[in-house]
């Protein structure tokens, strides 16, 4: 009980600190510190409450136990990450993004195709595409190829829709200027419309990073070799080894955040001219 | 775009027709025709793909029926691609590409027949009725969606009104979405089962988690959408924070809310379907998918998939209709 009380006082203290920080001048440090304090407080409260109330590990393991499982099983976790993320998700992401980009260029060239493809693509992007996982696993076998295939299907439509929308995002004045320069279709595309489309394309790419990881993991529920993050999660749940499940979740969160962060970083370098990145 | 911006009175546009007919014709040309063409193209590709995808099985059937096929034994054919087999035995591959019991790729009409048979052809209470399974999934979806929307709106109100909430919660709400929650659905189901919760609630929790984020982001944007001029006006009226919220911020946020609700309901449907996977295939569209993949019932998988797609489309359409009516009554013509 004392630990729980301690957790609550810690919460109050951290919250008061955050209020003071937020009311003060907004420097870069404050912007980093406030969410960090919030996150650390949650972690500390989790640990204290789980210990204080003796929550069984089957329901919720304490963060320290999860950290232990994480460091003890590093080789296993690394192998899983390699199988699911590098082989399944990244390969599928690359293929899916390339295919979507190619189709988007085609749709952009032929207005009729665009009018038909855009509503259909928008519709498909909203569908539970994860459901195709059992079919694709049946077609491409249990190994990473089927996971990559699921990821291809999942990331295709968001990137397609965003790219097509981005390619139309130029003003008549700008296009007229290119015409007065005597620019060909290819030159207009390369020098004007593709750069203008970049914020949209990166929006699609960023949305797809998490979709890729989700697709690769969920596809493993329908059959996988004896490694992979989805496989490990479903078997560890069966063994009630929840600390291992949570360690896998930590890996997934780290990989997902890193993937998103890298794409966001590239976006910042490519679209440095965009208002949202200036200043 | 030129089609929709050209004046209706353009030369030849409305000869002998009323403006209304011309408008309708234009919507056909720029709206339905391309979409129908693309859909017809997809169905055509689908039919065509059935031939090589099912070739292995078709040729095996032909061989068993006593026809001569090349290569002659199934062992020789194992390593070959479907397209190569179909090219060498065009007649046999064509003959049974669209009528197999358990094809690798069922033809569209097989899926449509199964879909029709398991919705209209069976009593709603039957365990094989897709309506029954769709209802199981839908109830979890709606419950989770309601929770997620409520949670999302509350968080957004907090974020807009409190600087601390904004600075501390928002970054974590974003980080929370990089965790592939769907992947840990089995754990949530098992953990909740161990404390005695089962059935609809665990699935609804997964749906809640997936649907709250779009609502938070949309609502924060929407509640902040009134510009400084409008806020100043309310200040000159001497209205307090409460009144500003009810009379300005909330109405202004509705278009944003509906846009997020459409994303949220799709996310919650996905959550409910994935939530059904680890429960051991009892009931629901997800369970149909899993059972179909265990027993190689491809037609069943495809029909469950299409049922899910139709459900998603209906839900989004419903929210769109509510949005249209509500915004029109508020005088915001969306």
DSSP per-residue codes, A163-221: HHHHHT---HHHHHHHHHTT--HHHHIIIIIHHHHHHHHHHHHHHHHHHHHHHHHHHHT
**Looking at chain B from residue 179 to 238, which residues have their Cβ under 8 Å from any Cβ of chain A?**
179-180, 182-184, 186-187, 190-191, 194-195
* Token pair recorded at residue A14: 């951290």
Instruction: Look at residue B150 and tell me whether its pLDDT is greater than 90.
Output: yes
Instruction: Give Cβ neighbours of residue B97 (< 8 Å, ≥ 6 apart).
Output: B50, B51, B54, B55, B58, B103, B107
What's the pLDDT score for residue B278? Answer: 66
**Which of B193, B200, B267, B191 has its CA nearest to residue A246?**
B191
What's the pLDDT score for residue B281? Answer: 52
What's the helix, strand, coil split of chain A in %, to 5? 85, 0, 15
**Is residue A150 classed as helix, strand or coil in its secondary structure?**
helix
Tokens 């190619």 sit at which residue? Answer: A102
**Which of B154, B143, B152, B153 has its CA nearest to residue B206?**
B143
What's the pLDDT score for residue B153? Answer: 92
Cβ pair B168:A245 closer than 8 A: no
H-only helix segments in A221-241: 229-238
Whole-number Å distance between alpha carbons of A87 and B131 = 38
Give the ipTM of the model, two decimals please: 0.72
Instruction: Give Cβ neighbours of residue B220 (< 8 Å, ≥ 6 apart).
Output: B156, B159, B160, B170
Q: CA angle, corner A195, sides to A191 and A200, nearest 5?
A: 150
CB contact at 8 A, A271 and A225 = no
Average pLDDT value for residue range B122-147:
85
The architecture CATH gives domain B130-329: Orthogonal Bundle (1.10)
- Least CA distance to B195: which residue of chain A? A59
Whole-number Å distance between alpha carbons of B27 and B70 = 52
Backbone torsion region of residue B66, taken as left when φ is above 0, otherwise alpha when ψ lies between -120 and 50, otherwise beta: left
Instruction: Look at residue B29 and tell me whether its pLDDT is greater than 50.
Output: yes
CB contact at 8 A, B256 and B327 = no
Where do the domains of chain B lie?
Answer: 19-105, 130-329
Instruction: Look at residue A123 and tell me whether its pLDDT is greater than 80.
Output: no
CB contact at 8 A, B260 and B214 = yes
Higher pLDDT, B238 or A18: B238
Whole-number Å distance between alpha carbons of A74 and A91 = 23
Q: Does B317 touch chain A (CB under 8 A)?
A: no
Indicate which of B1, B78, B183 best probes the interface with A, i.e. most A CBs within 10 Å of its own CB: B183
* Token pair recorded at residue B43: 């169905």
Give Cα separations from A60 to B192, B194, B239 (angstroms).
11, 11, 47
Long-range contacts of B79-85 (CB under 8 A, 24+ apart): B81/B52, B82/B52, B82/B53, B82/B54, B82/B55, B82/B56, B83/B52, B83/B55, B85/B52, B85/B55, B85/B56, B85/B59
Average pLDDT value for residue range B240-264:
87
Instruction: Look at residue A57 and tell me whether its pLDDT is greater than 90.
Output: no
Cβ pair A135:B298 closer than 8 A: yes
Chain A contact set for B285 (CB, 8 A) = 131
Average pLDDT value for residue range B31-44:
84
Q: Which of A69-73, A223-227, B24-28 has the highest mean pLDDT?
A: A69-73
Minimum mean pLDDT range among A108-112, B22-26, B168-172: B22-26
Instruction: Give Cβ neighbours of residue B288 (< 8 Å, ≥ 6 apart).
Output: B130, B133, B281, B300, B301, B304, B307
Cβ pair A35:B172 closer than 8 A: yes
Confidence of residue B2 (pLDDT cuts 50, 70, 90): very low
Largest CA distance in chain B: 91
Whole-number Å distance between alpha carbons of A164 and A101 = 9
Q: pTM value?
A: 0.79
Higher pLDDT, A276 or B202: B202
Q: Does A262 touch chain B (CB under 8 A)?
A: no
Backbone torsion region of residue A129, taken as left when φ is above 0, otherwise alpha when ψ lies between -120 and 50, otherwise beta: alpha
* Token pair recorded at residue B196: 């005695």
Instruction: Give Cβ neighbours of residue B21 (< 8 Å, ≥ 6 apart).
Output: B14
**Looking at chain B from residue 91 to 130, which residues have their Cβ under 8 Å from any Cβ of chain A?**
104
- List the single residue in A30, A126, A237 with the smallest CB-CB distance to B186: A237
Confidence of residue B306 (pLDDT cuts 50, 70, 90): confident
Q: How many residues does chain B have?
A: 334
CB contact at 8 A, A159 and A150 = no
- List the single residue in A128, A221, A260 with the smallest CB-CB distance to B270: A128
* Token pair recorded at residue A56: 């069984």
- List the single residue in A131, A222, A233 with the smallest CB-CB distance to B187: A233
Distance from CA of B46 to the nearest CA of A (A): 14
Distance from CA of A137 to the nearest CA of B (A): 9
- According to DSSP, residue A25 is labeled -
Chain A contact set for B298 (CB, 8 A) = 135, 138
Confidence of residue B280 (pLDDT cuts 50, 70, 90): low
């Amino acid at each position: 009980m004392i630990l729980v009380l301690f957790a609550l006082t810690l919460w109050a203290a951290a919250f008061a600190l955050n209020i003071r920080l937020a009311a003060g001048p907004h420097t870069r440090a404050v912007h980093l510190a406030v969410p960090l304090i919030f996150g650390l407080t949650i972690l500390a409260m989790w640990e204290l409450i789980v210990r204080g109330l003796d929550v069984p590990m089957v329901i919720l393991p304490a963060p320290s136990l999860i950290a232990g499982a994480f460091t003890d099983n590093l080789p296993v976790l690394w192998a899983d990450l390699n199988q699911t993320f590098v082989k399944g998700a990244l390969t599928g992401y690359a293929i899916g993004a390339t295919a979507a980009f190619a189709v988007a260029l085609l749709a952009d060239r032929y207005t009729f195709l665009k009018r038909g493809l855009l509503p259909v693509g928008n519709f498909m992007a909203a569908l539970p595409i994860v459901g195709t996982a059992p079919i694709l696993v049946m077609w491409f076998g249990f190994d990473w190829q089927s996971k990559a295939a699921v990821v291809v299907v999942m990331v295709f439509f968001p990137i397609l829709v965003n790219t097509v929308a981005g390619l139309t995002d130029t003003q008549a004045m700008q296009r007229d200027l290119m015409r007065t320069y005597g620019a060909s279709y290819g030159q207009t595309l390369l020098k004007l419309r593709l750069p203008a489309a970049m914020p949209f394309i990166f929006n699609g790419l960023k949305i797809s990073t998490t979709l890729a990881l989700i697709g690769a993991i969920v596809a493993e529920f329908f059959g996988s070799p004896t490694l992979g993050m989805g496989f490990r999660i479903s078997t560890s749940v069966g063994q009630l080894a929840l600390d291992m499940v949570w360690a896998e979740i930590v890996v997934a969160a780290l990989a997902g955040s890193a993937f998103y962060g890298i794409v966001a970083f590239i976006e910042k370098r490519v679209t440095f001219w965009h208002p949202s990145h200036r200043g | 775009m030129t089609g929709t911006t050209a004046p209706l009175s353009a030369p030849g546009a409305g000869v002998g027709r009323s403006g209304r007919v011309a408008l309708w014709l234009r919507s056909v040309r720029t709206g339905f025709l391309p979409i129908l063409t693309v859909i017809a193209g997809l169905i055509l590709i689908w039919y065509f793909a059935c031939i090589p995808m099912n070739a292995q099985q078709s040729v095996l059937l032909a061989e068993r029926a006593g026809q001569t096929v090349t290569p002659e034994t199934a062992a020789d054919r194992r390593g070959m691609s479907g397209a190569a087999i179909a090219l060498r035995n065009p007649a046999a591959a064509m003959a049974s590409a669209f009528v197999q019991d358990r094809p690798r790729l069922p033809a569209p009409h097989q899926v449509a027949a199964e879909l029709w048979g398991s919705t209209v052809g069976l009593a709603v209470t039957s365990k094989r009725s897709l309506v029954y399974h769709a209802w199981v999934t839908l109830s979890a979806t709606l419950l989770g969606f309601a929770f997620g929307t409520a949670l999302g709106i509350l968080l957004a109100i907090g974020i807009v009104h409190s600087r601390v909430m904004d600075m501390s919660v928002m970054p974590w709400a974003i980080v929370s979405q990089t965790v592939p929650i769907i992947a840990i659905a089995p754990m949530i189901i098992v953990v909740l089962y161990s404390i005695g919760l089962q059935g609809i609630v665990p699935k609804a929790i997964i749906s809640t988690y997936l649907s709250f984020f779009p609502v938070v982001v949309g609502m924060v944007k929407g509640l902040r959408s009134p510009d400084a001029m409008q806020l100043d006006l309310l200040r000159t009226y001497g209205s307090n924070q409460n009144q500003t919220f009810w009379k300005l911020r909330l109405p202004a946020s509705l278009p944003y809310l509906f846009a997020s609700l459409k994303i949220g309901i799709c996310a919650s449907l996905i959550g409910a379907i994935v939530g059904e996977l680890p429960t051991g295939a009892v009931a629901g569209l997800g369970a149909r998918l899993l059972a179909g993949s265990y027993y190689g019932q491809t037609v069943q998988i495809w029909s469950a998939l299409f049922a899910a797609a139709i459900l998603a489309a209906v839900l989004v359409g419903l929210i769109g209709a509510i949005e249209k009516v509500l915004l029109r009554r508020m005088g915001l013509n969306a």
